[in-house]
Amino acid sequence: MAYRRTQAVQERLDATRARIVAAAHALVAERGYAGCSVALVADAAGVATGSVYRHFPDKGALFAEVFRTATQREVDAVAEAGSKPGAIEERIARAVETFARRALKSPRLAYALIAEPVDPQVEAERLVYRRAYRDIFAQVIADAVDSGDLPPQDPEVSAAAVVGAMAEALVVPLHAGVASRRTVPELSAFVVRSLGAPHARHS
């Protein structure tokens, strides 16, 4: 007869896994991806290194889970900002500013999520969420094109360019841990202008 875990055992395993992921998240936010190791995560989580490997086969699998958890929060925040009612330039600006301001609040973590060299498993997660950001902006752009608030354009191509511009504009400030007070408004204004919004804000 196959062994079945009791609910209490499963709850303990789930709690340990969650503690490991939370510890890894905190370490990435403090040290970046390169500054983390499974041993450091285990120590921070208060478990043996072997316990980490019982939940995750290697560092890549562990940090892929960290990236999924951390990035989904950011995607959800940007999606919410872009879905609020308002003129098209306001919706676009809110989404861009939400992305940028949240990134600049935790620069080490954001740099790891956006640009730091990572294991292939983590890079795969990064691409998934770049597509998620693209889809958010593509929907906003498509709605605006349909309503005549933006000129005709391919929403997916434009959205991919927006995501690339946001990431590129923030890479150096995030790596340095400091940004000019003009970084966010200038980035927002650039994106709005680039999409052809009729009432684009000027800096």
Whether 14 has a pLDDT exceeding 50, the answer reads yes
Least confident range from 11-15, 105-109, 166-170, 186-190: namely 11-15
- Percent above pLDDT 70 for the chain: 96
* Whole-prediction pTM: 0.88
Tell me: the pLDDT tens digits for 159-191?
A: 999 999 999 999 999 999 888 999 999 999 999
Question: What mean pLDDT comes out for the span 61-65?
Answer: 94
Which two structure tokens, joined as six digits, stand for 64? 């892929």
Q: What end-to-end distance do the CA atoms of the chain give, in Å? A: 70
Q: Tell me which residue has tokens 């330039």.
A: 89
**Domains along the sequence of the chain with CATH:** 7-194 (1.10.357.10)
How many angstroms separate the CA atoms of 152 and 154, rounded? 7
| pLDDT: which is higher, 172 or 8 | 172
Q: Tell me which residue has tokens 């290697």.
A: 58
How many angstroms separate the CA atoms of 54 and 37, rounded? 16
Question: What mean pLDDT comes out for the span 123-138?
Answer: 95
Least confident range from 3-12, 16-25, 87-96, 142-151: namely 3-12
How many angstroms separate the CA atoms of 26 and 122, rounded? 17
pLDDT band at 202 (very low <50, low <70, confident <90, very high): very low
**How much is the mean pLDDT over the chain?**
92
